Amino acid sequence: MPLTAYSISSEKEEDVEQVLKRLSTLFGECVSAAEAIPETWRAFIRQDLQCPCCFVTGAELVKAAYSTASKNPLRQPCFRFNNPKHRDHCDFGSTEKANTVPENLVAFSDSNSPITKAVRELVGTGIELALFSHKSIRDMREWFFNKKVQSMFLVTLDPRFPKWMHSLYREKFYSKPGKEVELTLGIVASPKFSWRAAVAREQLLRHPEYRAFSEAFHKKPNPFFLEYSRMGTLARRFQGRSAFDPSMLEEEYEKTCELARFIAINYKPLKLTTSNKVINVSSVLALAALLMYVRDWNQDFARADFMKIVGAAGSSNQELGNVMGLNPFHDFRTWQALKAIQEFGVQVAEYVDLKAERVAIEQQLRAKLGAPPMPVE
């Protein structure tokens, strides 16, 4: 259930408290608790508020919930969309995500981080300069939702695969390719001989799935080696479910990253983060994507808008920055790599413990050659 909803009549994103405050002014009555609101208000809310992800109407207000034992809050006041239900693939559609913010949405109001604070100031200034508005932020989310539903795929990649293949792949660096000679007792007795390299070579030979994988992926720039851990997490979380393949937004992603780097270089408070790392900072990417979206992805216009904002930033109305931005490119490269690897379809016969397998290989090689047994560690 989302914490904010978009009001069609006020063209603003609002939380429950803000909605109640606005309706008090509109209807001339004061109601401050979600459970006590009159039917006229309910009817108004049902047609005025939209889900911030899939844009259905029919909202109901849901009051805060507290633990009976500890009195700690369990749920903040939020919005429920039951009639009609959320559209397919809405980030708020599943009950497991009740009262959480989907990872691709960015609360600019989260003032704990100095970077988000700086971005919030830029968002507020951009709204004051009328370069964008809550409505354009909402429209961008709708643009993204429509892109998303056109490009879904079923996640079937074994969640064990990325980490396991990464561990196996690392053996390549121990194996010192090009030195493949038949081992003899004389060779292994040499002080220069490395059991580690010999075992790595043998282990890679035992896994034909490694060969298939490395031939397909090792030469291409592929984020697999940076993103394998995250890829496993996503494969586990989305197993058997649909997820967005962001590849159709490649051009937009690259332009947005370029603008994000420009932003990091040209706005002092954001120099906290280096221009290369900035593409991993959701709030900056959300701002860059918004600047690009409102300018139809024209980089020159977007850059010029940004410089106008920088020139005026510093004293914006903080309320304006209280809006949920969208980073359409959350986990972009990870999803791309996950889908490519899944489609390539490497079959792993058995996810053996690779470390234990290496010990067994060395014992077998030593026994075969009549070399002394492995030293006890």
Residue among 90 and 287 whose Cβ is closer to Zn ion? 90
Segment contacting Zn ion by CB under 5 A, of 83-91, 181-189, 212-220, 264-272 = 83-91
Residue among 6 and 132 whose Cβ is closer to Zn ion? 6
> Which residues fall within 8 angstroms of residue 2, CB to CB, at 6 or more apart?
51, 52, 53, 78, 79, 92
Q: Which member of 6, 41, 79, 92 binds Zn ion (CB under 5 A)?
A: 92
Find the shortest distance in angstroms from Cβ 85 to Zn ion.
Answer: 8
Identify whether the C-beta of residue 214 lies closer than 8 Å to the C-beta of residue 172: yes
Residue among 90 and 279 whose Cβ is closer to Zn ion? 90
Residue among 73 and 84 whose Cβ is closer to Zn ion? 84
SS3 189: helix
Identify whether the C-beta of residue 90 lies closer than 8 Å to the C-beta of residue 52: no
* Binding letters toward Zn ion, positions 268-307, x by CB under 5 A: ----------------------------------------
Say how far apart CA 92 and CA 158 lie, in whole Å: 26
Question: Half-sphere exposure (CA, 13 Å, Cβ side) for 301?
Answer: 12
Say how far apart CA 377 and CA 365 lie, in whole Å: 18
Alpha carbon 131 to chain centroid, angstroms: 27
Say how far apart CA 61 and CA 130 lie, in whole Å: 31
* Binding letters toward Zn ion, positions 224-253, x by CB under 5 A: ------------------------------
How many residues in the shown chain lie near Zn ion by CB under 5 A?
6
Amino acid making up residue 218: H
C-beta neighbour count of 2 within 10 angstroms: 29
Residue among 54 and 289 whose Cβ is closer to Zn ion? 54
Segment contacting Zn ion by CB under 5 A, of 79-87, 142-150, 272-280, 284-292 = 79-87
Residue among 206 and 241 whose Cβ is closer to Zn ion? 241
SS3 118: helix
> Which residues fall within 8 angstroms of residue 32, CB to CB, at 6 or more apart?
20, 24
Find the shortest distance in angstroms from Cβ 374 to Zn ion.
Answer: 59
> Which of 233, 229, 173 minimizes the C-alpha distance to 200?
173
* Binding letters toward Zn ion, positions 27-46, x by CB under 5 A: --------------------
Find the shortest distance in angstroms from Cβ 50 to Zn ion.
Answer: 8
Find the shortest distance in angstroms from Cβ 95 to Zn ion.
Answer: 13
Find the shortest distance in angstroms from Cβ 348 to Zn ion.
Answer: 37
Q: Which member of 5, 54, 119, 289 binds Zn ion (CB under 5 A)?
A: 54
Residue among 295 and 330 whose Cβ is closer to Zn ion? 330
Residue among 3 and 235 whose Cβ is closer to Zn ion? 3
Find the shortest distance in angstroms from Cβ 118 to Zn ion.
Answer: 30
DSSP 131: S
> Which of 217, 219, 215, 205 minimizes the C-alpha distance to 171?
205
Q: How far apart are the first and last CA of the chain?
A: 55
- For the chain, the maximum distance between any two Cα atoms, rounded to a whole number of angstroms, is 96
Beta partners for residue 62, in sequence order:
78
Residue among 79 and 293 whose Cβ is closer to Zn ion? 79
Residue among 53 and 243 whose Cβ is closer to Zn ion? 53
Q: Which member of 78, 90, 278, 361 binds Zn ion (CB under 5 A)?
A: 90
Segment contacting Zn ion by CB under 5 A, of 8-16, 92-100, 306-314, 364-372 = 92-100
Identify whether the C-beta of residue 314 lies closer than 8 Å to the C-beta of residue 93: no
- Residue 86 touches Zn ion, criterion: CB under 5 A: yes
Say how far apart CA 294 and CA 216 lie, in whole Å: 39
Segment contacting Zn ion by CB under 5 A, of 4-12, 78-86, 94-102, 138-146 = 78-86
SS3 161: helix
Find the shortest distance in angstroms from Cβ 18 to Zn ion.
Answer: 19
For Zn ion, the binding residues (CB under 5 A) are 51, 53-54, 86, 90, 92
